[in-house]
Amino acid sequence: MKTRLYSVLALTALVSIGGYAQKPIYRGRCIGVHDGDTITVLIDNRQMKVRLEGIDAPELGQDFSQRAKEHLSNLVFGHDVTIREEGVDQYGRVVGRVFIGGRDTSCEMLSAGLAWHFKKYSSSAELAQLEDSARGQRAGLWSMSNLTAPWDYRVGKRTGLKSTVKGITPTAASAGKVIHTGPRGGKYYINSKGKKTYIKKKK
């Protein structure tokens, strides 16, 4: 049986207790690592692009992007993996938890301090705790200050915004961010912790 043209080795079935359908599970070999949260898996001679669920790693070009890619590659490249599908994103990628042996790669990336918990799409208490622990230990990217979360980086890259608001002095932290106007006219952006950071005006 095939789902989305990929062989499902653990077919969707009804759980005897509770009566709800299990999510599709796939097994294959990782043949490509694109960045710190996206891989390609070969399943019965068909390629499946998989986005790791629950995390968001630095975009290519950001600080620690290469280290995140290398760490994920060391974990999964060339190995057989199990994917528990959670959904499909707007780009047609399967979004799922990827396991190698008993290790959850989303957890591994967070523990190493090489990804953010993607709270916009994940409410996992476990992933949130792992990010908090990595932050506390200043592991990986958390050793840096003035971090730009990848979702903010993507917005800035798409729009090409470089703090070009009239009267605002660009800073390294605000570059590439979406600049908002506060109720009293002040300009601010949302930092990596989700808080407002106001930008000083030119004197």
Residue 181's contacts (CB-CB under 8 Å, 6 or more residues apart) are: 187
Which residue, among 117, 127, 185, has the nearest Cα to 151 in the 3D structure? 117
* Catalytic residue selected from 67, 84, 93, 135: 93
The single residue listed with the structure tokens 């959904």 is 87
Alpha carbon of 96 to those of 27, 39, 174, 199: distances in Å?
A: 12, 11, 32, 38
Q: Is 93 a catalytic residue?
A: yes
Contact 25, 97 (CB under 8 A): no
- For 24, other C-beta atoms within 10 Å of its C-beta total 19
CA distance 16 to 20: 8
CA distance 62 to 140: 13
* Catalytic residue selected from 53, 59, 85, 131: 59
Q: Is 51 a catalytic residue?
A: yes
Catalytic residues: 51, 59, 93
